[in-house]
Chain A
Amino acid sequence: MKQSLTLGKVTKFIGIAGLLETIKDLFTGNLDKEDFKNFLRKVIMPLASVFLFFAVWYFGAKSLHDIEADRLIKKALVEQGPAEAEKVRACIESGEKTCQPNSLPSPAQVWGAYQTLLADHYVIRADKKAFIEKTAVLNAKRVANGEAAIVYTGRPSFVDQIFTSIITVFAGFLLALFIAVPIGIIIGLSETLRSSVNWLIQIFKPVSPVVWFLLVFMIVKTFAKNSDADSAFIICFISVGLCSMWATLVNTAMGVSSVDKDYINVAKVLKLGPMQKIFKVILPSSLPLIFTGLRITLSVAWMVLIAIELLAQSPGLGSFVWEEFQNGANDSNSKIIAAMFVIGIIGFMLDRIMLTIQKMVSFNKNDGI
């Protein structure tokens, strides 16, 4: 019973509760015509679209591969003669990895790359564990002598990088929250302030993440010169925060400035003090809008994080993608596409988490979208 309850919660969280229900009905046989239509709409059509997507991907990748292969063979023919060209053709047709042209990977290759990444993760984790065990005694001695312990400096695995990215995005998100919400409230309360900073907001809002990164870099490098803090991480999360905070800022200001006049009248009639008025009337009534802003902020943060990590060379999914692209190994392209899916799925989950929180704080349950 308890298990099915959590299952229900999880499916509802991902948004496929109706789907499972219908599948159950399909197997138990109590599906009437209306249900069947629903089933068609909610299960068959989405599955068909996914199937179509993979089909387009598969055939697209195949034709791109063939074009590239033809080019390779022709090039060999022109430069090295028919014998070499025949060798290249045979090599490509044999499926040997090293001979494959560099093009869009097929779904199967991406799946393979994903498994390689996972396997790689386990290898690295085992390595790390072994290293820690090996250095445990030595480290204890070093710490006792007042020396710094030796830390594992090996390459981070894909899974490690996912976690680094998530930590960075949350740090950036929290920064955005702590900057944008208070400022939003303050400028929401005063029309003068609102109109005086309006231009600045409108100008900074559309600035690209790349430029934010450069700006933050200019500032942070001065402070981080003599400290041994992880400046790449700091620059990264500050840029993410600054880049993504605008939605929250604008929404908070709007929510605070557009509180229902009736509530303000109530506050006046009850003679609430200014602080009481803000915390007991204005803030609660603008919470739904603030959370809508935070939800947008989190998805923007996740989106720009990849670009900023790529520039900042801070470990994470962004630099993973960039390194794979630079390194140009046989399966680099497949790994990039695998990372793309991981990024998409995590972004989706983050959005769902925010939606759930948004629904919880919203006093008008119809507000959540």
Chain B
Amino acid sequence: MAYLELKNIYKTYGEGETATEVLSNINLTIEEGEFVAIVGFTGSGKTTLVNLINGLLMPTSGEVLFKGESVVDTSHERGVIFQNYSLLPWLTVGQNIFMAVKEAFPKKTRKELHDIVEEFVAMVNLSHAINKRPKELSGGMRQRVAVARALAMKPEMIIMDEPLGALDALTRGNLQDEILNIWGKDKHTALLITNDVDEGIYMADRIIPLRPGPNATLGPEFKIDIDRPRDKTELNDNPNFKKTRNAIIEYLMEIGNERKSEVQKEYLLPDLTPKSFVWL
């Protein structure tokens, strides 16, 4: 039995004439302990897909199965890291995480909860900023808080919706390593949504392209056969990396072109000249 399974998922927004089908016929299985990345263009329905899996949205038809059970609501077993951090700006770093931990472990004492908070803040190297508000932190630090918040609830699976999308390249690289380190420790099942092919290859076991929406559907999967831990600098010389990367990019370019050619349409221009137009 697959750990997470998406069966014939369709998702439509709106009704009747104005309905747009964002996702169609999505089928995906993820095994326990796997790190899967889904790459796609912006606006291809990636966030919709993530929200279906974490339980914030319900599919129009089809079923999301998590450990064999249908997903009908959010659950503490699936931790979510949002694209735009989604930290509560009126709470400090510690309070943001404490709120999550308190919900996840209602039976623990305050002391135990605070210990968990401190542990996870330390894990993302933010102990010095535990009493700061999100506004006082940089984008990378905020995303680290979001990572700590998601992980502190000790989820079985972690779902990341373009977690590093808004960060600069350097911070991005560092955070990728940090997330991989944390993931490597207890091998959560992980699903990463990203628009960066390199990031997907560097981090995941498997990459699946999402064909652009409307009617977005998953493309053929690409296995990444590169041993962990992966080294970013060596990766560039790895023939396997090059091959996979080129294959994925080629595929994405192809569907991109396909999409362009679809919208190419001849417009008939009326034969008009301005009234007082004089050729010079």
Interface stretch (choices A23-31, A99-107, A109-117, A262-270): A262-270
Q: How far is the CA of A262 from the CA of B74 in the complex (A)?
A: 14
* Chain B binding surface, main DSSP class: loop
Give the contacts of B226-263 with A (CB-CB under 8 A): none
A269 & B89 in contact (Cβ 8 Å cutoff): no
B99 & A268 in contact (Cβ 8 Å cutoff): no
Which residue of chain A lies nearest to B91 when distances are taken between CB atoms in the complex? A284
- Of B73, B75, B90, B99, most buried by chain A (CB within 10 Å of CB) is B90
Give the contacts of B46-100 with A (CB-CB under 8 A): 54-56, 73-76, 80, 82, 84, 86, 88-91, 99-100
Give the interface size bracket for B toward A: 20 to 34
Answer whether residue A363 sits at the interface, using C-beta atoms and an 8 A cutoff. yes
Answer whether residue B133 sits at the interface, using C-beta atoms and an 8 A cutoff. yes
Which residue of chain B lies nearest to A268 when distances are taken between CB atoms in the complex? B74
* Contacts known (A265-B82, A271-B75, A280-B99); A363 close to B90, Cβ less than 8 A: yes
Render A267-297 as a binary contact track against B, CB cut-off 8 A, 1 for contact. Answer: 0111110001000110011010000000000
Q: How far is the CA of A287 from the CA of B73 in the complex (A)?
A: 29
Answer whether residue B135 sits at the interface, using C-beta atoms and an 8 A cutoff. yes
A363 & B86 in contact (Cβ 8 Å cutoff): no
* Chain A binding surface, main DSSP class: helix
Q: How far is the CA of A265 from the CA of B73 in the complex (A)?
A: 12
Answer whether residue A208 sits at the interface, using C-beta atoms and an 8 A cutoff. no
B103 & A270 in contact (Cβ 8 Å cutoff): yes
Q: Which residues of A contact B84 (CB under 8 A)?
A: 262
Q: How far is the CA of A269 from the CA of B135 in the complex (A)?
A: 22
Give the contacts of A190-249 with B (CB-CB under 8 A): none
A271 & B74 in contact (Cβ 8 Å cutoff): yes
A281 & B80 in contact (Cβ 8 Å cutoff): no
Q: Which residues of A contact B74 (CB under 8 A)?
A: 268-269, 271
Answer whether residue A94 sits at the interface, using C-beta atoms and an 8 A cutoff. no
B54 & A269 in contact (Cβ 8 Å cutoff): yes
Give the contacts of A270-328 with B (CB-CB under 8 A): 270-272, 276, 280-281, 284-285, 287
Among candidates B54, B75, B88, B153, residue contacting A284 with C-beta atoms closer than 8 Å: B88
- Of B75, B86, B153, most buried by chain A (CB within 10 Å of CB) is B86
A269 & B88 in contact (Cβ 8 Å cutoff): no
A364 & B135 in contact (Cβ 8 Å cutoff): yes
CB distance from A255 to the nearest CB of B (A): 13
B56 & A269 in contact (Cβ 8 Å cutoff): yes
Q: How far is the CA of A77 from the CA of B80 in the complex (A)?
A: 94
Q: How far is the CA of A268 from the CA of B54 in the complex (A)?
A: 10
Q: Which residues of A contact B86 (CB under 8 A)?
A: 262-263, 265-266
Which residue of chain B lies nearest to A366 when distances are taken between CB atoms in the complex? B135
* Contacts known (A262-B84, A281-B88); A271 close to B56, Cβ less than 8 A: no
A285 & B88 in contact (Cβ 8 Å cutoff): yes
CB distance from B63 to the nearest CB of A (A): 20
Render B28-56 as a binary contact track against A, CB cut-off 8 A, 1 for contact. Answer: 00000000000000000000000000111
A266 & B88 in contact (Cβ 8 Å cutoff): yes
Q: Which residues of B contact A268 (CB under 8 A)?
A: 55-56, 74
Among candidates B73, B99, B133, B135, residue contacting A270 with C-beta atoms closer than 8 Å: B99
Q: Which residues of A contact B133 (CB under 8 A)?
A: 363
Q: Which residues of A contact B80 (CB under 8 A)?
A: 269
Q: How far is the CA of A281 from the CA of B88 in the complex (A)?
A: 8
B56 & A265 in contact (Cβ 8 Å cutoff): yes
Render A248-268 as a binary contact track against B, CB cut-off 8 A, 1 for contact. Answer: 000000000000001101101
CB distance from A279 to the nearest CB of B (A): 11
Q: Which residues of B contact A269 (CB under 8 A)?
A: 54, 56, 74, 80
Q: How far is the CA of A363 from the CA of B88 in the complex (A)?
A: 10
Q: How far is the CA of A263 from the CA of B84 in the complex (A)?
A: 11
Q: Which residues of B contact A266 (CB under 8 A)?
A: 82, 86, 88
Give the contacts of B150-204 with A (CB-CB under 8 A): 153
A284 & B90 in contact (Cβ 8 Å cutoff): yes
Q: Which residues of B contact A285 (CB under 8 A)?
A: 88-90
Q: Which residues of B contact A276 (CB under 8 A)?
A: 103
Q: How far is the CA of A271 from the CA of B82 in the complex (A)?
A: 15
CB distance from A295 to the nearest CB of B (A): 19
CB distance from A207 to the nearest CB of B (A): 35
CB distance from B25 to the nearest CB of A (A): 26
B103 & A271 in contact (Cβ 8 Å cutoff): yes
Q: Which residues of B contact A364 (CB under 8 A)?
A: 89, 135
Q: How far is the CA of A280 from the CA of B135 in the complex (A)?
A: 18
Q: Which residues of B contact A281 (CB under 8 A)?
A: 88
Q: Which residues of A contact B153 (CB under 8 A)?
A: 270
CB distance from B262 to the nearest CB of A (A): 31
What are 17 residue pairs bridging A and B, where the CB atoms are less than 8 Å apart in the complex?
Answer: A262-B84, A265-B56, A266-B82, A266-B88, A269-B54, A269-B56, A270-B103, A271-B73, A271-B75, A271-B76, A271-B103, A280-B88, A280-B99, A284-B90, A287-B90, A363-B89, A364-B89
Additional A-B contacts beyond A280-B88, A285-B88 (12; CB < 8 A): A262-B82, A262-B84, A262-B86, A265-B86, A266-B82, A270-B99, A270-B103, A271-B75, A272-B103, A276-B103, A280-B99, A364-B89
Which residues of chain A have a CB within 8 Å of any CB of chain B? 262-263, 265-266, 268-272, 276, 280-281, 284-285, 287, 363-364
Q: Which 6 A-B pairs have the closest CB atoms?
A: A363-B90, A262-B86, A284-B90, A270-B103, A363-B89, A266-B86
